[in-house]
Amino acid sequence: MKKMDITNYQVDGTKNIAVCPKCKREAPPTEGGLLAVLCDDCQIPLATGRVATKVEVDVGEVLVQLLFHPNLRLTARQVRDRKPLRDKILRCPRAALLLENAEYDMIKAGLDAAQGFGVNDIELVDRVYDAVDYEVK
C-alpha cells in the first residue's frame, strides 16, 4: 500500500480585478464571473488589471484529473474500472489517502502521461512520487 498526503495547498497565482479610480473600491465579479464595468457608487468606468494572489489547489480533484488524463487514451472499460478509485479519492477527507499499489500505479501513470508542468506543480509531483509505502496491520 501507499500513503499519500492529499491536503490542499496554495500556489502563487493572479486574478482579474476591477477597481474604481475615484473611490479605490474593488468591484466584485458579476453573476457570470465577469468584471463589472461601472462603479456602483461613483458611476464611472472601472480600471481593470491583474493582481498577485494565492490559489488553493484541491489535491483530490487534481488526482482525479490525472486518473482520467486524456494522454492515457483510456478505453470505455478502463474509464469505468477507474470509477471506484475516483469515488474513493473524492470521499477521502483532505488528509492522507491510502492506496493499493494498483491504485497508486493508475495515478502515477496519469502523472507520467501529463505534460506541460510548471513551477506551481512541483508540490503535486513530489506528493505523488514521494508517496510512502504503508503497511496495514
Alpha helices in 46-97 (DSSP H): 59-67, 76-91
Instruction: Check whether residue 117 and residue 65 sit in a common domain.
Output: yes
Instruction: Check whether residue 47 and residue 91 sit in a common domain.
Output: no
Q: Residues 30-58: pLDDT tens digits?
A: 776 677 778 888 888 888 878 788 889 99
- pLDDT of res. 58: 95
pTM score, whole prediction:
0.75
Q: Residues 77-100: pLDDT tens digits?
A: 999 999 999 999 999 998 999 999
Q: Coil, helix or strand for 52?
A: strand
Instruction: Check whether residue 51 and residue 82 sit in a common domain.
Output: no
Cα 34 to Cα 23, 29, 48: the distances in Å are 20, 5, 11
Instruction: Check whether residue 35 and residue 19 sit in a common domain.
Output: yes
Structural domain containing residue 116: 2-9+56-133
Average of per-residue pLDDT values in the chain: 91
Least confident of 8-22, 51-65, 69-83: 8-22
Instruction: Check whether residue 36 and residue 98 sit in a common domain.
Output: no
Cell triple for 64:
482525479
Instruction: Check whether residue 31 and residue 73 sit in a common domain.
Output: no
Instruction: Check whether residue 33 and residue 85 sit in a common domain.
Output: no
Instruction: Check whether residue 43 and residue 90 sit in a common domain.
Output: no
- pLDDT of res. 35: 74
- pLDDT of res. 62: 96
Q: Classify residue 76 as exposed, middle or buried by CB count within 10 Å of its CB (0-12, 13-18, 19+).
A: exposed
For residues 40 and 102, which has the higher predicted lDDT (pLDDT)? Answer: 102
- Report how far residue 134's alpha carbon sits from residue 46's, in angstroms, rounded to the nearest whole number: 55
The total number of structural domains that make up the chain: 2
